[in-house]
Amino acid sequence: MRILHTSDWHLGRSFHREDLLTAQGTFVDHLVETVRAERVDCVLISGDVYDRALPGVDAVRLCNEALERLVALGVRVVLIAGNHDSAHRLGFGSALMDAAGVHLRTDFARVGEPVLLDGAAVYGVPYLEPELLRHDWELDERSHAAALTEAMRRVRADAATRPGTRTVVLAHAFVTGGEASDSERDISVGGTSHVPVGVFEGIDYVALGHLHGRQAMTDRVRYSGSPLAYSFSEERHLKGSWLVDLRDDGMEAAFVEAPVPRRLKRLRGTLEDLLHDPALDAYEDRWIQATLTDARRPPSAMERLRRRFPHALVLGFEPREGPGEDARTWTERVRGRSELDVAGDFVAEVTDGPAGEAERALLHEAFEACRLKEARA
């Protein structure tokens, strides 16, 4: 069986106010052509189909078009909800779509019910919010690892009744050791976010979503990454999908590159250096994030920068640091830290003192309320 593994389309998302819908449509064209040319049997879409729980009309139209074109090729599609998707809205009409060969798996209660394809059982495990599952699944702890461990227990229980059948799992999670970028939404407020790769032990192929860079956690556990770059931290990412052959004697995976609408480049230096350095000629047609290091903020800096780099999108100012100052960028200072910690730093900045226990509890309650409201949407 030949599988094409993709994820994190984020249909409807923009890139620093640049509309990406045309580029996303080009990716859909590429995906459909790859399915046709490579004789793919099944397309796996591992969550975050949309960028928000209430997607725009154009994003829904593009998703509908993509699914219609794949069905017309006779390929089966298995799709799960990610943390950006509304499980209820994305799962609408799932029972009817099953008959057409589009299998939407957005309900946590169905994780042990596979889609059966040519000697393989495909289990869709949507994004699991620990707080919403804790009572129904009687979880011992409030963590993503606990939720996914229980989901995989249910998967294995069903797989045990199907001897000789290969097993494939789609999941949307942050697996320990994965490399994050700046464009994924933090999921740590809903419980400890990391999940050990051992949770998927014994599965023939695991198609992961959530992290936007392609990576292989093991030979059989992989992230496809997003098809487009959604932050400048993805400047060096290679975007595309995994083409996976599942055979009786093992598996083989090859990466299929996706079209790039415009490449990214991060530049740093004084404004005069950026405007006149001939070594930067090759980057004039790229989307640019520029960080100026001038001692004083230059006047009309973005306007002047765009005369050379017409696609400059982001401009930051970080004067050369003095003794004892933190030379890291804002992105570097917040990378890997939770929303709660960043909010606590803000409280400390504006009150000249660290957030107390009562303030941190209130912040946690606010973040949790927002998360649960979106999860129930």
Domain residues for 330? Answer: 264-375
pLDDT tens column, 68-110: 999 999 999 999 999 999 999 999 999 999 999 999 999 999 9
Task: Say what the pLDDT of residue 341 is.
Answer: 82
Q: Which amino acid is it at 40?
A: V
Whether 206 and 315 share a structural domain: no
pLDDT higher for 332 or 174?
A: 174
Q: Is the pLDDT of residue 190 over 50?
A: no
Rg (CA), the chain: 22
The model's pTM is 0.84
Q: If you average pLDDT over residues 163-171, what whole number do you get? A: 96
Task: Say what the pLDDT of residue 324 is.
Answer: 47
Pure H helices in the chain: 21-37, 57-72, 87-90, 94-98, 130-133, 144-159, 271-276, 301-308, 330-334, 339-351, 357-375
Give percent above pLDDT 90 in the chain. 75
* Domain end residue (candidates: 209, 237, 257): 257
Task: Say what the pLDDT of residue 329 is.
Answer: 61
Task: Say what the pLDDT of residue 231 is.
Answer: 96
Q: If you average pLDDT over residues 246-255, what whole number do you get? A: 92
Give the H or E element holding residue 245: strand 240-247
Whether 223 and 295 share a structural domain: no
Give the H or E element holding residue 121: strand 120-125
- Assigned token pair, 16: 């620093």
Task: Say what the pLDDT of residue 166 is.
Answer: 96
CATH number of the domain where residue 62 is located: 3.60.21.10
Whether 242 and 333 share a structural domain: no
Whether 10 and 106 share a structural domain: yes
- Assigned token pair, 294: 């001038």
Task: Say what the pLDDT of residue 328 is.
Answer: 63
Question: How many CB atoms are closer than 10 A to CB 289?
Answer: 21
Q: Is the pLDDT of residue 322 over 60?
A: no
Q: If you average pLDDT over residues 139-143, what whole number do you get? A: 87
pLDDT tens column, 42-69: 999 999 999 999 999 999 999 999 999 9
Whether 75 and 174 share a structural domain: yes
Dihedral pair phi/psi, residue 258, rounded to 5°: -95, 155
Number of domains in the chain: 2
